[in-house]
Structure 1
């Protein structure tokens, strides 16, 4: 028995370093199966308050009646706040029953009395949720010795040592005070294996459903049974990226390139960029991402795909604003060349040589060359608008001359349009005989008055 005591002490010291749970709300039921020892010392009239009550408490050889086989079974139910209620049954064989009253130094040997006990106990656990779980209890029961029974009131102290969540070692001592003189007050010591059960763990994560915030999904104790799939220390319910490890700063999402834009929102997740451009870089700072910028090292507008606008004709007006991007012009004329007085003079010198059939508006074929020169000049000023003006001499009626001048002006306009000049650039107007440039009294003067002019529209 001394070796057994040493073994139990060694087990307590080793197991004290591990953690487990005591009988509690998650495992409300506990069953203990083991062996018991009955000790009737002191005997006679020593009683509960005698001086000798504990002086040979550990005298196993002289006083303990031990039935090493299965001899005790108890079942208890946790009721809350550290309290539980249990019922125990035990049996033993008694061959020594204290000391002889007339000679306290001599053990009182008996002839294999039978011992049966049924006891109920209200127990309080002092350290719930720990490996070493001491307890104390009070209760009562009924004990039979050699088929003679009596009621007892019991006081109990003990210790549970839990190996894991469900299995442990329980040792306890109970003081049983008998109500009848024929049953001597005695101690009963028990040691056994305890199994606690009754807890529900639906998801099998070793966290019982009562304490599991996610009872249907395996999780971690640190998150009350809820999972952290990507292992980044942020439980899935609070993780914006539960399948990718990230940082708490970004609610569990990764930022691979470290630009402050999480990968799920980053259009360029492997290259540091700007938040304003969804995480993509902009080397020239023109607001167009490098991937979309045809000139990534030269600032330019998005409308020109990130490239600076060219000035093809070098007139100081960018092509995007230049109405004549291939012809050098002036800023004042939106990049188009301006019609100078000299050009205007040349134009009219050509126009005056346009010939018509006498009294008609049909253009003579020999005027084709001069009209080609006029068209060439007009094409050099693609945005300029012109008025084709018709004039006559004073021969004939005024109304006839007006109609003839209108007709000849329109005839020239239509010719120019058919040969490539935009219609919106031309207008036609006849002045009849109202604007002579020479005397109508001579044939030479009248010839000068019969003319077409092409003037810049004002």
Structure 2
């Protein structure tokens, strides 16, 4: 017995020197402790009697007050482990059913019967399934062999247990196992057979078996750099310059830098790594490869023809001129030498007064009867119209022709179109851009006066100038 105690102490020392433990990292476990054998369970005929007598330690339990069991197990994955257990005991309390009263039993001392057991079990950890750290209940099933003095038999078993983990590698284990004997008889004597019984275990469990080659506290199976000591946050790989970026991903492993630059520095703090910065000592925008832009116009000072005045890149960093001062830059101003409005692309907008004047002139345009040719006194009027249109070089106009109701509709329609076209052609010939003008004839369809009087017909025979907006 004292040899078992020495073995237990040596195992504690060995396991105490092991690294941190988790089932997947330290797959092996060894447990030592004491056990108790209770033969009362096979004598009780009622389930409630078995339960009520479960904790009757003084009357029914056989406890060996020493290291009386050893268990070795291995984690195999997903909360399962397999193990073997060897235990010894002395049976001083034996439940005997050979009484005069059916169903009664007596507890006797059979004379310190020797008890030996060897068990193989499969255990499932509920703590692993639920992610519990320190509280680890479990269930187990298995089989084995029991020697009780001169008797022996095979058994099947099952039970419950719980381990309270003090640390990741050391825990207190409690377990109760029911062992169903293959040699149980209806009436037992003291030592002529092996009855079904309960066996209880209490002891310390230690886990071990993990390998950490580089000694960095990270097991080799989880260590991305198992031969070189590193940091947990980098799965065991080193960070030489201490910038928080693992050497394998650090473009500048010897110089501390920033994660956004793959571990390289940014001396001037402009957001551009020194290796990519055309001006690494002076802050500048990314768009200019880290070089400064004094006037903030997006053109690097070295390329800016006007470094102190904002201007577009297209003009070498200098501002565009506005010759006529109308707020429309010359490059966009269709009338760069004449002040206009932004809405009219830098050209002056025609006024309502001039529109009225245009139409007053247009109504005095006289054509030869039934023709699209002008009477001689009309040319000064046409020249006045030309003069007004030239004042507004960006404005567009439509020339409309109208007739009275005399004659056939088709003839009037054609005549109105021809007369409007004649006015348009004259204006183009006298300097008005072709694309600024269009013409259309409406015949007699849009009268502005009655066609029953001579004066009314004269009013309906007209040309109108309309501004195209």
**Is residue 70 from structure 1 mapped to residue 81 from structure 2 by the alignment?**
no
Deviation at 1:190, TM superposition (A): 1.2
Q: Distance in 2 between matches of 1:151 and 1:87?
A: 15
Q: Could you list the runs of 5+ residues in structure 2 that have no partner in the other structure?
A: 1-19, 185-192, 311-469
Report the CA distance shift for 1:270/1:176 in structure 2 as closer, same or farther (over 3 A).
Answer: farther
1:199 aligns with 2:210: yes
Between the aligned partners of 1:271 and 1:161, the Cα distance in structure 2 is 62
| 8 Å CA contact retained: 1:173, 1:189 | yes
Selected match of 1:224 from 235, 241, 244: 235
CA gap of 1:165–1:284, structure 2 versus 1, over 3 A, is same
Which of 90, 94, 112 is residue 91 of structure 2 equivalent to? Answer: 94
Correspondent of 2:149 among 146, 149, 155: 146
Match of residue 213, structure 1, among 217, 221, 224: 224
Cα separation, 1, equivalents of 2:106 and 2:57 = 14
Partner of 1:111: 111
Q: Any residues of structure 2 matched to 1:408-423 within 5 Å, and which?
A: none
Contact 2:43–2:105, Cα closer than 8 Å, also in 1: no
Q: CA deviation at 1:276?
A: 6.2
Report the secondary structure of 1:53's partner residue: helix
Task: Go from structure 1 to structure 2 and tell me whether the alpha carbon gap of 1:58 and 1:248 turns closer, same or farther (over 3 Å shift).
Answer: farther
> Residue 57 of structure 1: CA displacement?
1.5
| Cα 1:274/1:51, change in 2 over 3 Å | closer
SS at match of 1:34: strand
SS at match of 2:115: strand
Cα 1:59–1:240 change in 2 (3 A) is farther
Match in the other structure for 2:283: 272
Q: 1:171/1:252 Cα in 2 relative to 1: closer, same or farther (>3 Å)? A: farther
Q: How does 1:161-200 map to 2 (within 5 A)?
A: 161-181=164-184, 182-200=193-211
- Shift of residue 95, structure 1, vs aligned partner: 1.3
Q: State the distance in 1 between where 2:301 and 2:177 align.
A: 86
> 1:30 — aligned with what?
29
Against the structure 1 CA distance between its residues 203 and 282, is the aligned structure 2 distance closer, same or farther, given a 3 Å change threshold?
A: same
Report the aligned-residue RMSD: 3.6
For the residue of structure 2 that corresponds to 1:206, the secondary structure is coil
Judging changes above 3 Å, is the alpha-carbon distance between structure 1 residues 157 and 246 closer, same or farther for their aligned structure 2 residues?
A: farther
Match status 1:132 vs 2:131: no
* Deviation, structure 1 residue 90: 0.5
- Whose Rg is larger? 1
Tell me how far 1:126 sits from its aligned partner.
2.8
What secondary structure sits across from 2:51 in the alignment?
coil
- Which of residues 55, 58, 78 is equivalent to 1:58? 55
Which runs of structure 2 are paired with 1:363-382 in the superposition (5 Å)? Answer: none
Residue-by-residue CA offset, 1:41-93 (whole Å, 9 max, x unaligned): 234363xx744222222222222222121111122233333322211111011
Question: How far does residue 254 in structure 1 lie from its aligned partner after superposition?
Answer: 4.3
- Give the secondary-structure state (helix, strand or coil) at the position aligned to 2:65: strand
SS for the counterpart of 2:161 is: strand
Q: Closer, same or farther in 2 for the Cα pair 1:59/1:267, shift >3 Å?
A: farther
Q: Distance in 2 between matches of 1:220 and 1:112?
A: 58
Inter-CA distance 249–183: structure 2 relative to 1 (3 Å threshold): same
Displacement after TM superposition at 1:271 (Å):
4.6
Contact 1:21 1:162 in 2 (8 A): no
* Corresponding residue SS for 1:127: helix
- 1:367-446 equivalences under 5 Å are none
Asked if structure 2 preserves the Cα contact closer than 8 Å seen for 1:214 and 1:226, the reply is yes
Paired residues of 1:42 and 1:99 also in contact (CA < 8 A): no
Alpha-carbon distance in 2 for matches of 1:173, 1:288: 85
Q: Structure 1 residues 172 and 206 mapped into 2: Cα distance closer, same or farther (>3 Å)?
A: farther
Alpha-carbon distance in structure 1 between the residues aligned to 2:22 and 2:163: 8
Assess, with a 3 A threshold, how the Cα gap between structure 1 residues 53 and 249 changes in structure 2: closer, same or farther.
Answer: same
Partner of 1:451: none
Q: CA deviation at 1:224?
A: 3.2
Contact 1:44 1:101 in 2 (8 A): no
- Shift, 1:259, TM fit: 0.8
Secondary structure of the 1:68 match is coil
TM-score of the pair, normalised by structure 1:
0.51
